[in-house]
Structure 1
Amino acid sequence: MKKIAWQNMKYIIVLGLGKTGVSVLRYLQNKKRQDKSLKDVHIRVFDSRKNPPGLDEAKQILGGAEFLNRRWQLEDTLAADLIITSPGIDLREESIVLARDADIPVIGDVELFAQETKLPIIAVTGSNGKSTVTRMVEFIAAQCGKSVVAAGNIGLPVLELLQHKDEPDAVMLELSSFQLESVESLKLKAAALMNISADHMDRYNSVDEYIKAKQRIFTNAKTWVLNRQQQDTWPHPVTGKLMTFGSDSHPQHFGLLSGNVDRVSGPVAVTSRGNVVLRADQLQLQGIHNLVNLQVALALCEAIEIDVKQAAHAAKEFKGLPHRCELLSNNHGVLWVNDSKATNIGATAAAVEGLRPMVSGRLLLIVGGVGKGADFRELQPTLEQVDILLTIGEDGPRIGQLFSGSRQVKNLQQAVELASSLVQTGDMVVLSPACASFDQFKNFEHRGDSFRQAVEAKNVDRA
């Protein structure tokens, strides 16, 4: 994408408010202050929601903009010199497609950031695990004396970084496929693609289209961090320096060393180029999949000149993020795990496969919600590792059809009550829904908090 010719701008439209939209308006305000030729640029902001988040703040920031509480039309987009979209805007909309066909730039906040920043940047994308990796890198860097700021899909909106007086040593970006759709200028010291599982099929026409959006992260990346267990998702050809990770061992890259501890076979250490850098029992996170997440974090840290052994030592103190295989309690020998962030099949598969080896008794799984067009048959191998399945929500019955003897309940509260009546010492109850939450909850955090409250209430009853 060519650098934006700001001197030619007369009419800019911003699609969508929220955190991203507000940060875009603050960016435009600063741009107008710095460049007097932009003082007469007309800015229109569209958001079809009645009271979009950030509206009052946006008006304070850029009161001269025109705020329209409606959907944009073709005449709006074709009249623009520049269209800036929030990640939730579907770029397949006819009015946007035709604007692109007319050579009108359609970009998001990440592309704006990329065209201006000179900061060292590393980034991660993928269906699952990217938030954990992002916060892990941020934590490790701080422990090792480096200032790394998390931004993008987590943390700060990227454009806020351009206003910081104290520049960080590096920026760690978590990028969604939506954000990557309009990114071309982002230069990265290293980029990682965690994994791919069918997600957002209500936004993409196929899994291949979804994969291609994710692969855009490597467009200008020096080091490519890729998953050995999903080589079918690798871009071809690999033109950057290759660094891989996986659930197996590897003499030249990151991997897992397997062994036998207390008569239980499984991964016992994370390795770098064949050398052990961290034992599994030294990490505070739950599940084997977090040993894989750590490998990605170590590879990205190495790209910003943090020694791998030093980074691994720092990772021992990382406690993880809420709602991601979060151990809520161990009551009467029963483990309750909150993995509400598992909003797709791949996340639930990773959770079950990662947690199953830790369970001496039975694994009870709570699933269901809004499937976003997913083919739940892909969950079948995962369900074979489950002893009792409880389903909730809109698409719960569809998942339940794949499991003999599944139990459908109305809501999460009932699921906890039923699970509590079934468990015995050694069992684990996991909320890992494989679905979005918005049929019964505001978001996955609300769902996870509700699960926590229900579990705490039941544990008090059993005390």
Structure 2
Amino acid sequence: MKTLDNFPYSHVLVLGLAKSGTAAARLLLQSGKSVRVNDKKASDDGNAVYELKSMGAEVITGSHPLSVLDGIEIVIKNPGIPYDNPVLVEAVNRDIPIITEIEIAGNLVESSIIGITGSNGKTTTTTLTKEMLNKSNQSAKIAGNIGYVATEVAKTLEKDEKMVLELSSFQLMGVKTFKPKIAVLLNIFEAHLDYHKTFENYKRAKCNVFANQSDDDYLIYNADDPVVIEAVVQAKSVKVPFSLKKQHDDGAWVDATSIYFKHEKIIDRSNIALVGAHNLENILAAICAAKLSGASNVGIQEVLTNFSSVKHRLQFVENIDGRLFYNDSKATNILASQKALSSFKQPTILLAGGLDRGNEFDDLLPYLNNVKGVILFGETKEKLKRTATDAGIEFILTADDMDQAVKRAYSISERDDVILLSPACASWDQYRTFEERGDMFIQAVHTLM
């Protein structure tokens, strides 16, 4: 089992448990470090707390006393904990470094890391890249924001195995030396400003994916996104563009019929199974990452002709009496829902709503032309109701839970309609995760059957 032999700190505070915090604490203890854990919400008799105590950790639950920093050399924080947490503010005052679990995972990996970030499309691109490598007889594993804890995966990697990491801005904000061999920057637009406070802070976090790269590393970037183009100017790595609008002889591009990498045709667009014009961007980025990692055209083609969706990302669920149900629960922001809605030309019933982050939904208006009905829920349902009214949508209904939402959507639907869960909001007002929200939708659809 791999341990943190080169980690230069002996006394570590792990702030926040959950999956990543528990895994980080476990790894640090196995590496002979002195570990203190602080989690305000954890129960003293919980399994994770019991395990870490039995391994020698000091565990403090129920509050965040500043004394947890006494004698501490570095803090490893759960990505979701904001930096205005009193313990983190005090850590800054004491000049104690603050990192996330991604940073220590990078210390464990002996082979190439492919790090993928962006405001939208991360999960699809990460999954496509991993599948393209696997189908090319190269071993690769996925981890990070996609649901697999990076340190747990990194501990199991063989020397020649690659790790494909989906990276959130929350994770990237806490890296100091993390350096993927291949970085991918898909897009940048305003998101998570309740956490980052300003768009500049958010962009800076995203740009950490390539901040430590050198001239023998690669940066794959969206050459159609003006914010991305401006951001990558500072990169020292070899830049590899992808574009839907222009031919790029040093990257991936498309014409009316085919997809290319540099001068090489990869596949006919008509053979691609994945729906949605926005997914072409994800495909181009994945092709760049896979080709730079040695994937074969045959392996790439096999994936693209068979891969139709990632769970919770425009996932086809069921056809019930001619109604097509799609689960896009991972659409936790407006842009993601815009892209989902633009994937369908037939009449659509949209299920949307969730955590209120203070924004309005006017940016959805141009994408509601095919929407005949909405079922709204969560904290944002009144805001979304105003948008739906402005769009002149025929049916505007609300629901208390997902089961009710699915039933009401079906009741106003007709044969050949799409019933689409694409919330445009985070899930935390009603569900623990977007995965739980999507699973409830799937369960409700199957119950409807």
1:415 aligned onto 2:405: yes
Residues 392-411 of structure 1 aligned to structure 2 (within 5 Å)? 392-404=377-389, 405-406=392-393, 407-411=396-400
- How many residues matched? 432
Candidates 48, 66, 83, aligned match of 1:74 = 66
1:242 aligns with: 239
> In structure 2, how many angstroms separate the alpha carbons of the residues matched to 1:217 and 1:227?
14
Assess, with a 3 A threshold, how the Cα gap between structure 1 residues 212 and 159 changes in structure 2: closer, same or farther: same
Deviations 1:320-345 (A, max 9, x none): 32111111223343322111111111
Candidates 253, 256, 270, aligned match of 2:254 = 256
- Secondary structure in 2 aligned to 1:414? helix
1:303 aligned onto 2:292: yes
> What is the aligned-residue RMSD (CA, Å)?
2.5
Assess, with a 3 A threshold, how the Cα gap between structure 1 residues 231 and 166 changes in structure 2: closer, same or farther: same
Residues 6-45 of structure 1 aligned to structure 2 (within 5 Å)? 6=9, 9=10, 11-32=11-32, 41=34, 43-45=35-37
Deviations 1:61-101 (A, max 9, x none): 55221111133233332542221111122123343133224
Candidates 47, 56, 62, aligned match of 1:56 = 47
Deviations 1:346-387 (A, max 9, x none): 11011112x12xx3x312222111133334233233234534
Deviations 1:126-180 (A, max 9, x none): 1221112112222121111011111122253222245327334211111111111
Residues 371-390 of structure 1 aligned to structure 2 (within 5 Å)? 371-390=356-375
Residues 162-177 of structure 1 aligned to structure 2 (within 5 Å)? 162-164=154-156, 166-177=158-169
The offset of 1:231, in angstroms, is 1.9
Assess, with a 3 A threshold, how the Cα gap between structure 1 residues 60 and 392 changes in structure 2: closer, same or farther: closer
Task: Give me the identity figure in percent.
Answer: 29
2:184 aligns with: 192
Assess, with a 3 A threshold, how the Cα gap between structure 1 residues 334 and 167 changes in structure 2: closer, same or farther: same
The offset of 1:302, in angstroms, is 1.9
Residues 276-291 of structure 1 aligned to structure 2 (within 5 Å)? 276-291=265-280
1:348 aligns with: 337
Question: Relative to structure 2, which stretch is displaced further, 441-450 or 140-149?
Answer: 441-450
- Specify every segment of 5 or more residues in structure 2 that has no aligned partner in the other structure, as ranges: 1-5
The amino acid of 1:23's aligned partner reads A
2:194 aligns with: 202
Candidates 189, 205, 208, aligned match of 1:213 = 205
- Specify every segment of 5 or more residues in structure 1 that has no aligned partner in the other structure, as ranges: 33-37, 259-267
> In structure 1, how many angstroms separate the alpha carbons of the residues matched to 2:317 and 2:108?
43
Candidates 95, 110, 131, aligned match of 2:102 = 110
> In structure 2, how many angstroms separate the alpha carbons of the residues matched to 1:373 and 1:224?
34
1:364 aligns with: 349
The offset of 1:181, in angstroms, is 0.8
> In structure 1, how many angstroms separate the alpha carbons of the residues matched to 2:410 and 2:253?
38
Residues 439-458 of structure 1 aligned to structure 2 (within 5 Å)? 439-458=429-448
Assess, with a 3 A threshold, how the Cα gap between structure 1 residues 12 and 239 changes in structure 2: closer, same or farther: closer
Q: Indicate if the aligned counterparts of 1:189 and 1:304 stay in contact, CA closer than 8 A.
A: no
> In structure 2, how many angstroms separate the alpha carbons of the residues matched to 1:115 and 1:254?
31
> In structure 2, how many angstroms separate the alpha carbons of the residues matched to 1:25 and 1:377?
44
The amino acid of 2:397's aligned partner reads Q
Deviations 1:222-255 (A, max 9, x none): 2111112322134233432222223324242322
Assess, with a 3 A threshold, how the Cα gap between structure 1 residues 219 and 445 changes in structure 2: closer, same or farther: same
The amino acid of 2:66's aligned partner reads L
2:121 aligns with: 129
- Secondary structure in 1 aligned to 2:324? strand
The amino acid of 1:331's aligned partner reads I
The amino acid of 2:333's aligned partner reads N
1:227 aligned onto 2:222: yes
> In structure 1, how many angstroms separate the alpha carbons of the residues matched to 2:198 and 2:41?
28
- Secondary structure in 1 aligned to 2:146? coil
- TM normalised by structure 1 equals 0.85
